Amino acid sequence: MEQICPLCNGLQEYEVECEECKGKMIDKGRMSDYYDNYSSYLDMNITELIDGVQSDKCVHLFSCSDCKNDKRITIDKVIK
């Protein structure tokens, strides 16, 4: 059974409140997309190995729309 990230695939939204200013944090996508200029074009199976995270998880970068504070959040994948 294949597992997919519900955020990457638009299946659900994840609301996060900024710890600094209590503003709304916005999902900026997978952390691995920010490693270099080409990482967002690599296959997800390759970049998951770089994350050092279990394959049933996906790390997303969230950024506050007010104070620009960043936070990494690990999302559980779901069965496709």
Q: Is 29 helix (H, G, I), strand (E, B) or coil?
A: strand
Question: Going by C-beta distance under 8 Å and a sequence separation of 6 or more, which residues neighbour residue 65?
Answer: 23, 24, 25, 26
- Tell me what pLDDT residue 46 has: 59
Whether residue 57 has pLDDT greater than 90: no
Whether residue 48 has pLDDT greater than 90: no
- Tell me what pLDDT residue 2 has: 86
More confident position, 18 or 47:
18
What ranges do the domains of the chain cover? 3-79
